[in-house]
Amino acid sequence: MGLKHQRASRLLLAVVLVVSLGGCFGSEDEPSCVSDAPVSSNFTLSGSVTFGYAPSSLVSGKGVLKLSSIEQKPSRRIVVQAVDNCDRPVSETLTDDQGYYKLSVPGNRVRVRALSRLYTSNFATRPQNGTSFSTACSGPVSWDVQVVDNTSSQSFYAYRTASLYSASSNAADLDIPLEFDTAAGRYTDRTAAPFAIADTIVESLEKICRADPSVRFPQLMVNWSVRNVNASGQKSLGQIGTSHFTVEAGRPQLYILGKENVDTDEFDSHVIAHEFGHYLEYSLYRSDTLGGSHSLSDRLDPRVAFGEGYGNAFSAIATGDPIYVDSMGSYQRNGDTMNIALSPKSAPSNGIHNESSVQYFLWKLYDNKQRDFSRIHQVLKNFQSNSPAFTTLLTFAAHYNAQFGGSSESLRSLWETELETPYHALCATPQCTGLANDVADPFDSKQLIGSAYSVARTYGGQSRPAAFWNFYKPLRLNVPHVADGHDVVESGGSSYPYNKLGYVRWYTYKHETSSGNVLVAVTNLDGGQKACAAKDYLDLYVFGSSGASSGQRLLTADEGATGCPSVSFYAEQGKTYVLTVNGAVAGLHTTTTSPNGGISSYNINVTR
């Protein structure tokens, strides 16, 4: 699969290294090194930075890296420094969209160093030194994306010239190498990998800039290493489990696989963009996902379905390619792939509980809008993020319809025909007008979805009543609750069942009297057949909105090891709260019981 890549460098000599940069830019002092005194007047160094790139592709139904087609691509918007003989930076700039840079050097002998970092404190003040950028990111945008080695104290990756320069040069180019030896079945040089990751993130940033040219992004650490493998353990040893997004000590982090002939993701741009999409949920939007194992055929908790479907859709949006490729295995040629633009209509699990339906719906809205992300961005940032309802495709579609109308981007047709879901569930009025003035109903208060899904769908090999399929069930103060098919918690699968449909049941409660404490209590397990002292049976959570921009937040919970949880909370007049009853997650408490094979029915009441 491919030949060893060889390319004549336009630079005399270059070396790769990892750099520990304390603070923003300054390197650690080296007492044994004394910087050269200036040997000339100020001079200018300019050139280009490129990186070796192996495109991922679909070949014979497999996701592969085309290591026979390695090419050099411009390394865009990365930090480039002039460093003295002690490796201390004396000048810094960014490459432009063609990978070109220009440095003004204060008379020292210097090397040129490219860092695996995307940084700007105010994009409107860039470019520097005559370089040029595209107009997409032209407002007061700021970001700081650092691609680092998690197995080496989160040091930057860098590539620098071996030769020192003391006068202007027109040939200070850096070609960051990627080489693969087919005969040996291994990389001989993978220096380009972290720069490829940075470039995919540039593409992702572009989409946001075009939609919102004044976004300020929180710092992002992207952890990649040739030792990163799909085994869970100590991340500093490369045991990262899988490529994923997380937050550690308040800092957003991506971890990216890099173990060759096992699973490498640095050139799988869809994987990088998918995880960056989760970072956007954290930093700009909102996500209520439970996480956990999932697949395209699963019926998931709708929060999980939206989070993963959105991530897949964003990967297609960022790359401009709906064919998702994840290479892995020997020679990186035995990976997975999926077509995000493939209609889920004929799938056994299509609908808003399924991530393939979510990704298709979002991709088609984007594609039908001439690949303009601004409307999706607007709904995610300004409406879904502030909704009292959970982040689901129902919440998103209800707000999209209210803002732009059912005919926009063929929303109504996609919703009704491809997802086979009632259009009028999106609106608070008896029927949607189809115009951009409907009031969004992210709760499906008319409970149209349950009625429709119960006719054509089964779950776990069984027909389910409409109440089971409804997203939310309303509760009222001091009105005795009547249990039905909604009030049943059961395992949705044998592996990580907590994130599958059926393991968490949702309720709404609108407090219509004067503000004060209310008590929510689960009672009468399995129609009175099970005692409330049963271990690890049900958990109860209450969520509410606190301010116009905060979105959903946990108010209180009962995760105790008894079967009938209850909570008291202060309810404000006119506010709507969301409650969930969850099946206990294995390992959360000291014991795990599964009465009635993991199925439990119950009553739930609100009193003062």
Which of 417-421, 502-506, 558-562, 593-597 shows the lowest mean pLDDT across its residues? 593-597
pLDDT tens-digit map of 363-388:
999 999 999 999 999 999 999 999 99
Alpha helices by DSSP H, listed for 158-301, are 193-211, 269-283
For position 597, what pLDDT does the model report?
Answer: 43
Which residues in 20-122 belong to E strands, given as ranges? Answer: 43-53, 56-59, 62-65, 71-74, 78-83, 89-94, 100-105, 111-120
Written as one letter, the residue type at 359 is Q
| pLDDT (0 to 100) of residue 526 | 79
* Predicted pLDDT at 488: 87
Residues 243-248: what's their mean pLDDT? 95
Q: Which residue has the tokens 């040069």?
A: 169
Give the predicted TM-score (pTM) of the model.
Answer: 0.90
For 133-175, the pLDDT digits (tens) are: 555 566 667 889 999 999 999 999 999 988 888 888 767 899 9
Using the predicted structure, report yes or no on whether residue 606 has a pLDDT greater than 80: yes
For the stretch 66-83, pLDDT in tens is 998 899 999 999 999 999
Who contacts 107 (Cβ-Cβ below 8 Å, separation ≥6)?
38, 39, 40, 41, 42, 43
Q: For the chain, give the percent of residues with pLDDT over 90.
A: 64
CATH 2.60.120.380 fits 472-608, yes or no: yes
**Mean pLDDT across 62-67:** 90
Q: Among 18-27, 107-116, 228-237, 476-485, name the one with the lowest average pLDDT.
A: 18-27
3-state SS, residue 200: helix
pLDDT > 70: percent of the chain: 85
* Per-residue b or e along 344-362, where b marks 16 or more CB atoms closer than 10 Å to that residue's CB: beeeebbbbbbbbbbbbbb
What's the Rg (C-alpha) of the chain?
A: 27
Q: pLDDT tens digits for 440-491?
A: 999 999 999 999 999 988 888 888 999 999 999 999 999 998 899 999 887 5
φ/ψ region of 241 (left if φ > 0, alpha if ψ in -120 to 50, else beta) reads left
Average per-residue pLDDT for the chain: 86
In the structure encoding, which two tokens stand for residue 93, read together?
Answer: 């700039």
**pLDDT exceeds cutoff 70 at 234:** yes
Environment class of 465 (CB within 10 Å of its CB; exposed 0-12, middle 13-18, buried 19+): middle
Q: Which residues contact 454 (CB under 8 A, 6 or more apart)?
A: 463, 464, 465, 466, 468, 469
Could you state, in order of their start, the residue ranges of all structural domains in the chain?
14-209, 291-316+342-470, 472-608
pLDDT of residue 23: 33
> Between residues 91 and 492, which one has the greater pLDDT?
91
